[in-house]
Amino acid sequence: MQTKSFSLSALLSALFNPAERFLRPCLIVGMVSLSLWSAPLQAQDAKTGLTGEAHAADLVQARQMLMDALEEQMMAVEAALSGKDPKIVDLQNRAYQMNILFSAFPHLFAPQTQPAKGNDDPGYQTNAMPKIWQDFERFYEDVQNAAGISLAASQAKDMPSFRDQIKKLRNGCDSCHAEFMTPVSDPHGP
């Protein structure tokens, strides 16, 4: 108790004693410069992990690779369906892989990865249309639908219903590309 009141009075006198007045400006300058110094640090922290900002070209490549992986699964499924004696378990596994890929896909459209305007070179090449960002919820819903059809295919109880789902899924690929993808010179694109 004794020590406490002693240190409190020492602090008060340090702040208000005319001899110690120089301490106050020092304290204020110190606090202001501390907040100026930490503000940009906090802003930087808030952006950590935003790969659209820091790694836009890699992000675009990631979503294109996802689409390529989808194409690979879809081609294998369609080829098997037009062949003799397709194995439903194998095809259901492939449909499930497509469900996983579709689930990740719509999260790879950071606003910083839109197609370049004019002659700007953003450092990546995308065939995604600006319309995606103008009507993002509809695009998102289209991807969710495709994910849902893939999941339904992976759980189809027999071959005829599996075929139906895959037909629906192919329509889903085509209608989304027609609406949201620039018609391309993509050699393996549908």
Which residues contact ligand HEC by CB under 6 A?
A: 60, 63-64, 67-68, 70-71, 74, 126-128, 139, 142-143, 146, 169, 172-173, 176-177, 180-181, 186, 188-190
CB nearer to ligand HEC: pick between 10 and 179: 179
CB nearer to ligand HEC: pick between 31 and 113: 113
Please work out, in degrees rounded to the nearest 5, the angle formed at the alpha carbon of residue 115 by the alpha carbons of 114 and 120.
Answer: 115
Contact criterion met (CB below 8 Å) for 102 and 150:
yes
Min dist. Cβ of residue 185 to ligand HEC (A):
10
Min dist. Cβ of residue 88 to ligand HEC (A):
18
H helices of the chain, where? Answer: 2-16, 23-47, 51-54, 56-82, 88-104, 131-134, 136-154, 159-180
The CA-based diameter of the chain, rounded to the nearest angstrom, is 98
Query: What spatial distance separates the first Cα and last Cα of the chain, rounded to whole Å?
Result: 82
Min dist. Cβ of residue 121 to ligand HEC (A):
16
Single out the residue of 101, 76, 98 nearest to residue 86, CA to CA.
Answer: 76
CB nearer to ligand HEC: pick between 84 and 152: 152
Min dist. Cβ of residue 84 to ligand HEC (A):
23
Backbone angles phi, psi at 11, to 5 degrees: -65, -45
CB nearer to ligand HEC: pick between 20 and 90: 90
**Which region holds residue 123: left if phi is over 0, alpha if psi is between -120 and 50, else beta?**
left
Min dist. Cβ of residue 60 to ligand HEC (A):
5
CB nearer to ligand HEC: pick between 127 and 155: 127
